[in-house]
Structure 1
Amino acid sequence: MKMTEIAIIGGGPAGLSAAISAAASGARVTLIERDDHLGGQLKKQTHMFFGSKKQYASTRGIDIGDILQEQLAQYKDRVEILTDATVIGIYEDGVLTIEQNDKYMKLKPQRFIVATGASEKFLTFPNNDLPGIYGAGAVQTLMNVYGVKPGSDVLMVGAGNIGLIVSYQLMQAGVNVRAIIDAAPRIGGYLVHASKIRRMGIPILTSHTVKYAYGKDSLEKVTIWQVDERFQPIPGTEQDIEADVMCISVGLSPLAELLWQIGCKMAFVPELGGHVPLRNENMETSLEGIYIAGDVAGIEEASSAMVEGRLAGLCAAFSLGYKAGNYEELRKDCLEQLDSLRSGPVGEKILKGLAKATA
């Protein structure tokens, strides 16, 4: 059995930031990532980030991933990185089990930071399993990671930030986005993204949803219709859209299975995307020594995930006795950054959710 001081599960923006913060404090870290590369969602995010200089504002997500890995490399003497490694479980004796390249191993850390991210939600409608119907993240991976054009004509379902950003990236790749629809009465994403879309001539139809998907061997056509203020379909409002790709971007759900397994106290918080673990201000769950960061703690932007990661890594290392002289200053700075990122109308929803998830 291998030993480590802090095990970090997930090598995306939150996990990378946690590893940097914990290692910079002096702790020995094992970072575990199920993909063959680090960076998580940053690997496919070609748009520039908002926020402040501390959250790499005006830097593209793909470049932020490289920056974080370069920072982590400064502490290679006390950081072990396991890629292509899937954590199978966390058990009562504090051991986690890992499968890597068909080999099974056990790891006993003193502290855990779970940064497993989220999965895409889907929609129910007739023929929703036709080839050509994807989650928005899958389309983004095809284009921005593998350079594969998903199709010629796309219907985007969801006008949140992901739907708007991926639609713009599809147009940049030469794909025709026929329309963006959303069941909500107003656009959920930032207006700066929506304005870019409208300038490109893409219609955004709010209060609309999918009625039916058609196709023999793959998607060929989609029927959409309007919904009322109670999200009930309005007969007679149907219209057909020719499309060989439907891209669904209707939200994310925290990937919290490991936290359920170990027995963390959970709460269903719609504002945060679903079931999330209760936590304190230091990102520590109801179980001592188990911390969280990123989308598994509640769905937010990657900027917030990175700051949560820094906070979790800092606090986990501090709990092991790594008492850097500037600990309180660094912790305060993380909390202030999170407060700033959660200001405004979007932040009100997040803050409402966090109030329900605070231990």
Structure 2
Amino acid sequence: MSEILIIGAGPAGLSGAIACAQHGLKVTIIDEFIKPGGRLLGQLHQEPSGEWWNGMKEAEKLINETKTLPIDIRCGVSVYNIERHDADWYVYTNEGVFESPYVLIATGAAEYAIPVPGWTLPGVMSIGASQVMTNVHRVQVGKKGIIIGANVLAFAILNELQMAGINIERVVLPAESPISKKESNPEEVLKILTEAGHLAPSALLRNGSKLMKIDSLRRMALKYFPKGGMKINGTPLQLKKAAIEIVGNEKVEGVKLATIDSQGNIISGTEKLYEADFVCIAGGLYPLAELAAVAGCPFKYIPQLGGHVPIHSKNMETPIPGMFVAGNITGIESGKIAMAQGTVAGLAIAMASQSNAKIDEQLQQALQKVEEVRTKSPIQFIPEIAEGRLAMERVWEKESNRGELERVIF
């Protein structure tokens, strides 16, 4: 039996484990992947300072630190159920049952899948899969590719693929469907790009991002958007093109595109086939929170956090005794913020198990660190993330007040 059990060996889980173990607590981390590091392993981007953020090196630092502490990392372990009996959590896995009074769920995020006719062909993958194959496994995903979906995640990974010498011919939108929603609407996509001005695909959009938030100016810019697209380090972003079918016999051979209007409606007779030997679909990210749901944790749908998220406090605790959450399960943000949140969760658990003034002081400093990192973060997947965090604080306050009332009544 561990004093602390952490599900997820990514940036949040590793940081949480270190914070707990530094206060003498024995920690076990379980993860279904073959090695620890999570999404950090595939991340690579340039900071505003010009320095490079290398996720693999950051993961290595965290892993090396765990080796000096009472932390047991077990990979290749898949969780299929989690229950609470009396004062302990029981986590059921393919390697048996793990028992602990405290559990930290740091399962991260998953990608939205946007169905496109032909998407089951070999050579079609999510944009995140292309990142892992390129940066983690060092496998070239193809020689001529097309990205379907224009969002912050797509552009961040596009840059990584380009640095690896992989040719991306173009970035286009998915055709309109009940699932694609805003991702198929050029006006909505341009709005997202201009709100994320630091990652906008050209100097024009970066410098004019504030002006482009004005609806009339944005519509004008879309009206005169180049037919051939706007170059992103040599790869054209084509906001007026939508993928209507991925074509091939036994594997990807091309993508059939059609011209669309500013609302995403296909213009009949404009269909054309473009060659490609691989396709990346970028639908965005959502919190991977099923385990918290299985455990009975209440949820709240907050679009500014990426969807349904477990109700939690700033200290990363949930309304369920002994259960904490951290990282992208609480809202879609960068690896740096996941690490900062993991530290908060770890200190909050340490505080719950052995309350003292020193831990409380460290916890307050860790909370400040989260805000500092969030403010300086070069990658913001959701522009309204700060609004989402405030919304969750209000939800937590209501949940806490309700809990106090129930204790009084019963």
* Aligned residue among 273, 287, 303 for 2:336: 303
> What amino acid is aligned across from residue 198 of structure 2 in structure 1?
L
CA shift in 2, pair 1:337/1:151, >3 Å: same
Instruction: Provide structure 1 residue ranges, at least 5 long, that are not aligned to the other structure.
Output: none
Aligned partner of 2:190: which letter? P
For 2:170 and 2:162, the matched residues in 1 are separated by 11
- Per the alignment, residue 177 of structure 1 pairs with 168
Shift of 1:215: 1.0
Q: Structure 1 residue aligned with 2:384, among 349, 354, 358?
A: 349
TM-score, normalization by structure 2: 0.77
Structure 2 match to 1:131: 122
Corresponding position of 2:293: 260
C-alpha displacement of 1:58: 3.8
- Displacement, 1:109? 0.7
Q: Amino acid of the residue matched to residue 239 of structure 2?
A: T
Structure 2 residue 134 is matched with structure 1 residue 143: yes
Task: For 1:237 and 1:339, locate their aligned partners in 2 and report how far apart those are by CA, in whole Å.
Answer: 48
Q: Which of 145, 151, 163 lines up with 1:154 in the alignment?
A: 145
Check whether the contact 1:36–1:84 (CA below 8 A) recurs between aligned residues. Answer: yes
User: Which 10-residue stretch deviates more, 310-319 or 344-353?
Assistant: 344-353
Q: Which amino acid in the other structure matches residue 240 of structure 1?
A: L
Distance in 2 (CA, whole Å) between partners of 1:232 and 1:356 is: 34
The within-5 A match list for 1:209-228 is 209-228=242-261
Q: Does 1:35 align with 2:26?
A: no
Shift of 1:18: 0.5
Structure 2 stretches lacking a partner, 5+ long: 174-183, 204-229, 397-410
The alpha-carbon deviation at position 90 of structure 1 amounts to 0.7
Q: Which residue of 2 aligns with 1:6?
A: 4
Q: Say if 1:342 and 1:348, in contact at 8 Å, map to a contact too.
A: no
Instruction: Please tell me whether the aligned partners of residues 44 and 53 of structure 2 are also in contact (alpha carbons under 8 angstroms).
Output: no
2-structure distance, mates of 1:25, 1:190: 41
| CA shift digits 1:163-222 (9 cap, x unpaired) | 123222222333221112243124635635735994632111235432111111111111
User: Aligned AA for 2:386?
Assistant: L
Aligned partners of 1:157 and 1:181 also within 8 Å: yes
Q: Which residue of 2 aligns with 1:194?
A: 201
Residue among 314, 335, 350 paired with 1:317: 350
Cα–Cα, structure 1 residues 207 and 250, in superposed 2: closer, same or farther, change >3 Å? Answer: farther
Secondary structure of the 1:125 match is: coil
Identity of aligned residues (%): 31
Matching of residues 325-336 of structure 1 within 5 Å: 325=358, 327-336=359-368
Distance change in 2, residues 1:209/1:355 (3 Å): farther
Partner of 1:80: 72
Kindly indicate whether the alpha-carbon contact (under 8 Å) linking 1:28 and 1:79 is maintained by their aligned counterparts in 2: yes
The CA distance in 2 between the partners of 1:51 and 1:168, in whole Å, is 17
Residue type of the alignment partner of 1:31: I
Q: Give the TM-score taking structure 1 as reference length.
A: 0.88
Q: How many residues align?
A: 346
Give 1:241-280 correspondences, 5 Å limit: 241-280=274-313
How far is the alpha carbon of 1:97 from its aligned partner? 1.4
- Distance, in Å, in 2 between the alignment partners of 1:355 and 1:107 is 34
Distance 1:356 1:340, change over 3 A: same
Matched residue of 1:185: which SS?
helix
CA separation of 1:226 and 1:340: change in aligned 2, threshold 3 A: farther
Q: Deviation digits for residues 53-112 of structure 1, max 9, x if unmatched?
A: xxxx7431111001111222221xx21211111122111312111213xxxx22211111
